[in-house]
Amino acid sequence: MSTSRTIGVALLGLGNVGGGVVKLLAENAEAIEARLGARIEVRAIAVRDPDKANRVVDVDKKLLSTDVDSVIARDDIDLVCELIGGTTEAKRVVLAAISHGKQIVTANKALLAEHGAEVFGAAEAAGVDVYYEAAVCGGVPIIRVLREGLASDRVEALWGIVNGTSNYILSTMTETHGEFAAILADAQRLGYAEADPTLDIGGGDAAHKLAILASLCFGTTVDVSQIPTFGIDSVAPIDLTYAEKFGYVIKPLVIARDHGEAIEARVHPALVPANWLLADVNGAKNAVYVQSYALGPSMYYGAGAGMLPTAMSVVSDIIEIGRNIYARRAGGARPQRPRPVAQRPLLPMADIRSKYYLRFGVVDQPGVLGQLMTVLGAHHVSIEQVVQDTKSKDPVHVVVLTHEAREGDVKQALYVIDKLNVVKGPAQILRIAG
Ligand SMILES: NC(=O)c1ccc[n+]([C@@H]2O[C@H](COP(=O)([O-])OP(=O)(O)OC[C@H]3O[C@@H](n4cnc5c(N)ncnc54)[C@H](OP(=O)(O)O)[C@@H]3O)[C@@H](O)[C@H]2O)c1
């Protein structure tokens, strides 16, 4: 442990985020020391390949090591900052660092969403803190807002755009009326999307972040594998056009709501009213709109990824833990309290209530509309608006906006409708936020 007014830090990883952390700590060293009353010293950096060329920052080669276990065991390391990603090695090294009594900062949403209970449990038992601001929405300090800013409030619901790649693709499709596959290929060329974009466009990355947000908001453990998750790849350009005609924009949303006995958490593209603040969150930007009892609505917006925005969150966590370390040494109570957890189940998707956008492809003959309406009505799905697009041919598009209905009822109605011989192909179903 450091004895002077310094905090000894080990970085695990010197990639995009790790490089940004080194850069920010160096560039802002004076201001950080003034704010913390102590110096933060990076004393070791674990990497896979110490000889790698073209790192985002130059570091003293003597700091680099491939021996992660020796790095985290060093006496002069107070805080271990996990920036390697993934869940297997990251989990192993974080638990090992905790067992050595090290404070933890991580940017790893997958680790916390999948193994949060184990990591926080081990940290609690060892009396160390785990900070993870960068794990959700990169540079947007949403974790701090939920943990501290709204500590006296009660979150009722939240809606978030937490995956920049999906938001970039849907925003660009809306703007250019382009096809999903072509825009995804552009996004990969521009570096907005990974070579394997499955986690982003399939909603898995957003589900990880939602599990973390919902657990924090509602004081329960949300099992990420139980979150209903739908990607953006089913959204066709024609849906964006119809949505616009009805006064909506389609956004990749995460939604969480407190139902008392149960928690609602879901990930899917949704029609957002064009006059909502979230409708204006475009490109790769992230935002979370929170509805809480005392404050009412509030929104948090900014860069959800990138070297410096993400590193900024990591370094702020390091400073916060630095303060905690000095508070403890001065005999103060442990500043970060254990997370209160009362297990509550997730509401099954069939029981959620929402308004729906339904698009049917039908043959051009009289009476078809009536058949669709009859089936929907028989399943308690009432209609707000219907448009039969007379310009569309083979199939003719019928677009229906429903009043609020139960998802299970809508799905059963679609099951019946899809089998009608006047219907060509499965119906498109999108949920409407609100
Ligand atoms: N990039 C973003 O904008 C962003 C935003 C929010 C959160 N995050 C999260 O931040 C974390 C890091 O992301 P990144 O973009 O910085 O990743 P990255 O560029 O791929 O960097 C990963 C780093 O970890 C090192 N590493 C990997 N496995 C290792 C091992 N077994 N032992 C030692 N070092 C190992 C690599 O070493 P070598 O350099 O030698 O290969 C590399 O320096 C991830 O959890 C990610 O989800 C990233």
The DSSP annotation for 48-79 comes to S-TT-SS-SS---GGGEES-HHHHHH-TT--E
209 classed as catalytic: yes
Q: pLDDT tens string for the chain (434 positions)?
A: 554 689 999 999 999 999 999 999 999 999 999 999 999 999 999 999 999 999 999 999 999 999 999 999 999 999 999 999 999 999 999 999 999 999 999 999 999 999 999 999 999 999 999 999 999 999 999 999 999 999 999 999 999 999 999 999 999 999 999 999 999 998 888 887 888 999 999 999 999 999 999 999 999 999 999 999 999 999 999 999 999 999 999 999 999 999 999 999 999 999 999 999 999 999 999 999 999 999 999 999 999 999 999 999 999 999 999 999 888 777 766 666 656 678 899 999 999 999 999 999 999 999 999 999 999 999 999 999 999 998 888 899 999 999 999 999 999 999 999 999 999 999 999 999 98
CA proximity to 115, closest of 224, 32, 264: 224
Residue nearest to atom 23 of ligand 1 (CA): 13
- The CATH code that applies to domain 6-138+306-329 is 3.40.50.720
Which of 3.40.50.880, 3.30.360.10, 1.20.140.150, 3.40.50.1980 is the CATH number of 142-303? 3.30.360.10
Residue type, 323: R
Collapsing DSSP to helix, strand or coil, 246 comes out as: coil
Query: Would you give the distance in Å from CA 365 to the centre of its chain?
Result: 45
Q: How many CB atoms lie within 10 A of CB 262?
A: 16
Helix (H), strand (E) at residue 306: none
Collapsing DSSP to helix, strand or coil, 183 comes out as: helix
Residue nearest to atom 5 of ligand 1 (CA): 305
Residue type, 186: D
Residue nearest to atom 15 of ligand 1 (CA): 16
Distance set, CA 290 to CA 57, 248, 297 (Å): 37, 20, 6
CATH architecture of 352-432: 2-Layer Sandwich (3.30)
Chain position carrying tokens 């919902």:
214
Cβ of 80 closer than 6 Å to ligand 1, yes or no, is no
Chain position carrying tokens 């657990």:
215
Hey, which of 63, 84, 88, 165 would you mutate to test ligand 1's pocket, going by the most ligand atoms within 8 Å of its Cβ?
84
Burial class (CB in 10 A: 0-12, 13-18, 19+), 178: middle
Strands 6-12 and 79-82: parallel
Q: Which atom of ligand 1 is nearest to the CA of 309?
A: 3
Kindly state the tokens that stand for 240. Answer: 């964006």
* Confidence (pLDDT) at 392: 84
Hey, which of 11, 12, 16, 131 would you mutate to test ligand 1's pocket, going by the most ligand atoms within 8 Å of its Cβ?
16
Kindly state the tokens that stand for 325. Answer: 């370390």
Q: At what angle do helices 16-27 and 307-329 cross, to 10 degrees?
A: 60
Chain position carrying tokens 């009412």:
296
Kindly state the tokens that stand for 17. Answer: 């985020």
Cβ of 284 closer than 6 Å to ligand 1, yes or no, is no
Domain segments of the chain: what residues?
6-138+306-329, 142-303, 352-432
CA distance 310 to 18: 9
